[in-house]
Copies of this chain bind each other. A is one copy, B any other.
Amino acid sequence: MGLNDRFLNACCGQPVDRTPVWFMRQAGRYMPEYRAIRAQHSLLEICAQPDLAAEVTLQPVRTLGVDAAILFADILLPLIPMGLDLEFAAGEGPVIHNPVRTAAEVAALRPVQMEQSLANVLETVRLVRRELDGQVPLIGFAGAPFTLACYLIEGGSSRNFLRAKRLMYADPATWHTLLDKLALVVADYLAAQARAGAQALQLFDSWVGTLSPEDYEEYVLPHSRAVLGRLAATGVPVIHFGTDTATLLPLMAQAGGDVIGLDWRTPLDWGWEQVGADRAVQGNLDPVALFAPRPELERRVQRVLDQAGGRPGHIFNLGHGILPETPVENVKAVVELVHEYSVGVREAT
Which residues from chain A sit less than 8 Å from chain B, CB to CB?
160-162, 165-166, 169-170, 209-215, 244, 246-248, 264-267, 270, 286-289, 291-293, 296-297, 303, 323, 325
Q: In the assembled complex, which residues on chain B have CB atoms less than 8 Å from the CB atom of A248?
A: 265
Q: How far is the CB of A212 from chain B (nearest CB, A)?
A: 5
Are A266's CB and B288's CB within 8 A? no
Are A162's CB and B246's CB within 8 A? no
Known contacts A170-B296, A246-B246, A209 near B265 by CB under 8 Å: yes
Alpha-carbon gap, A162 to B215, bound state (A) = 31
Q: Which residue of B lies closest to A286 (CB)?
A: B212
Alpha-carbon gap, A66 to B54, bound state (A) = 59
Q: In the assembled complex, which residues on chain B have CB atoms less than 8 Å from the CB atom of A244?
A: 209, 244, 265
Q: How far is the CB of A283 from chain B (nearest CB, A)?
A: 11
Are A293's CB and B170's CB within 8 A? yes
Are A267's CB and B169's CB within 8 A? no
Q: How far is the CB of A242 from chain B (nearest CB, A)?
A: 12
Alpha-carbon gap, A19 to B200, bound state (A) = 51
Alpha-carbon gap, A286 to B161, bound state (A) = 11
- Nearest first, the 3 closest Cβ-Cβ pairs linking A and B are A246-B246, A169-B292, A165-B288
Q: In the assembled complex, which residues on chain B have CB atoms less than 8 Å from the CB atom of A287?
A: 160
Known contacts A247-B265, A323-B160, A166 near B212 by CB under 8 Å: no
Q: In the assembled complex, which residues on chain B have CB atoms less than 8 Å from the CB atom of A325?
A: 162
Known contacts A265-B212, A267-B212, A165 near B247 by CB under 8 Å: no
Q: Which residue of B lies closest to A243 (CB)?
A: B244
Alpha-carbon gap, A214 to B286, bound state (A) = 12
Alpha-carbon gap, A212 to B244, bound state (A) = 11
Q: In the assembled complex, which residues on chain B have CB atoms less than 8 Å from the CB atom of A215?
A: 286
Alpha-carbon gap, A292 to B289, bound state (A) = 39
Q: How far is the CB of A196 from chain B (nearest CB, A)?
A: 33
Pairs across A and B, CB under 8 Å, 16 listed: A160-B323, A162-B291, A162-B325, A165-B286, A166-B288, A166-B292, A169-B289, A169-B291, A169-B292, A170-B291, A170-B292, A212-B286, A213-B265, A214-B267, A246-B247, A247-B266
Q: How far is the CB of A297 from chain B (nearest CB, A)?
A: 8
Q: Which residue of B lies closest to A246 (CB)?
A: B246
Q: How far is the CB of A312 from chain B (nearest CB, A)?
A: 24
Q: Which residue of B lies closest to A161 (CB)?
A: B288
Q: Which residue of B lies closest to A289 (CB)?
A: B169
Alpha-carbon gap, A213 to B212, bound state (A) = 20
Q: In the assembled complex, which residues on chain B have CB atoms less than 8 Å from the CB atom of A293?
A: 169-170
Q: Which residue of B lies closest to A216 (CB)?
A: B265
Q: In the assembled complex, which residues on chain B have CB atoms less than 8 Å from the CB atom of A292?
A: 166, 169-170
Are A270's CB and B296's CB within 8 A? no
Alpha-carbon gap, A331 to B246, bound state (A) = 29
4 further A-B pairs in the complex, CB-CB below 8 A; given A165-B288, A165-B291: A209-B265, A246-B246, A247-B265, A247-B270
Q: In the assembled complex, which residues on chain B have CB atoms less than 8 Å from the CB atom of A165?
A: 286, 288, 291
Q: In the assembled complex, which residues on chain B have CB atoms less than 8 Å from the CB atom of A270?
A: 247
Are B160's CB and A288's CB within 8 A? yes
